[in-house]
Amino acid sequence: MKQILWFRRDLRVRDNKILEKASNEVMPIFIFDKNILEKLDRDDKRVTFIYDAVLALKKSLETLGLDLYIFYDTPKNVFMNLKKDGFDEVLCSGDFDSYSQKRDKEINEILPLKRYLDSFLINPKRNLKKDETPYKVFTPFYKSLSWLSSSDKIGESNVNPDLKLYKYKSKNPTLEEIGFKRVELPGFLNQTPQNRLDNFKEKVEEYEKNRDIFYKDGTSNLGIDLRFGTISPRMIFNEIKKLDGKNSEVFIRQLFWREFYNYILFHFPKSESENWNGIEITWRENEEDFQKWCEGKTGVPIIDAAMRHFNKTGMMHNRLRMIVSSFLCKNLLIHWKKGEQYFAKKLLDYDACSNIGSWQWAASTGADSVPYFRIFNPYLQSGKFDKEAIFIKSIIPELKEVDSKLIHIEGALKDKYISPIVDIKYSREKAIRAFKEAKNAKV
């Protein structure tokens, strides 16, 4: 038995299903997929992160007497070539977005593909309602999984100690050879994944209180680890559960939102590009307003600070994501898909299911969405979660000397800052009318 171990979004040795299920002679590989990379900007921060994570995985495998062979090609080409070496099958972790499923179907026609659940806690094919239909609302979905969420520990995978390396002659491509340049990443990514998890464990008791405050480091900072599998969701679940505090449960619930969005995308794949609830909104096709939103030049301080920070770092606080997406979809009445695609291009921890689900939530078009009449007022939000404008002033230098109170009042800045591109009250009323019309038309 000769197996290819195809590492994808499971870039770790600890708790890795394919290292447990593998047997006999194995060839671990990672593919820098040309189909994906050719669509990215040359300075895409994610590629720097993935490249370093792949080299770290290679070192970890070497301590087990194995190795990692790194390719820069399309998966189809890689496996057509490797098939000649007499491999019996390919082991990999499962993925559920449209490209991944299409890719895996293609590879399975070349070599038998065995996929294991390793990037999520539950298999979205399972956990249906009594009538065998999928859940559409988070709370019943979450309650149906109480057997899992309330457990003290989820079993982790162990490496099969009897694996033998199939040696293959290859040269690791450099970052430059795959067409990218090294870029600076946010400072916390200089730590190891385990250090990031340990740091969050120290913050968990303050998580519920601090997670919405923009200028505090109150979130987990584990999104990118979950996305690329440098830490598994089981590892995070188990480490947080050990703490046995109230706030650990608050965070565990957030882990299950990620599961819910993956579940929804699996059962309703059209939601990747269409309104999940089927309503047809008359969106505004205003490219100028959209570009001002992208660049952080809307004249609304919290929106501009969030977007400028995002463009520079690839990171955005979850509360800020809700505020900027509400502003785009409701106040500017621009299609959620445009915002989703912009985030997909820039977001360091971009995950199709969570990004699509979150944008449809904000746009009131998705599963268990915010009601269409509940529209975030960006001035009230910044006043509540950044009262002294600490975050805003750290990003927008021209507001450093401005009275913080004025920053949270619409129209109070006048000549001190660029004029807002939209009136909040008027645009809110306009959005509500548009959604009412769409709902009535559907009925």
CA atoms of 144 and 129, how far apart (whole Å)? 9
Residues forming beta bridges with residue 113, ordered by sequence position: 90
What sections of 347-377 are H helices per DSSP? Answer: 352-362
Tokens of 107: 């590879």
Position 88 scores a pLDDT of 95
Tokens of 176: 């430059």
Domain 2-119 classified CATH 3.40.50.620? yes
CA atoms of 159 and 154, how far apart (whole Å)? 16
Position 443 scores a pLDDT of 41
Q: Which amino acid is at 41?
A: D
CA atoms of 307 and 316, how far apart (whole Å)? 8
Position 442 scores a pLDDT of 58
What sections of 164-286 are H helices per DSSP? Answer: 193-203, 207-210, 223-228, 233-241, 246-267
Position 332 scores a pLDDT of 98
CATH superfamily of 287-437: DNA Cyclobutane Dipyrimidine Photolyase, subunit A, domain 3 (1.10.579.10)
* C-alpha distances out from residue 27 to 69, 108, 171, 367, Å: 8, 17, 15, 41
Position 256 scores a pLDDT of 97
Q: Which residues of the chain have pLDDT under 50?
A: 443
DSSP code of 370? P
Position 124 scores a pLDDT of 93
DSSP string, 320-347: HHHHHHHIIIIIS---HHHHHHHHHHH-
Strands 69-73 and 89-93: unpaired
Would you identify the CATH topology of the domain 121-154+194-267?
Answer: 1.25.40
Report domain extents, the chain.
2-119, 121-154+194-267, 287-437
Position 161 scores a pLDDT of 96
Tokens of 90: 């390919």
Q: What's the pTM?
A: 0.94
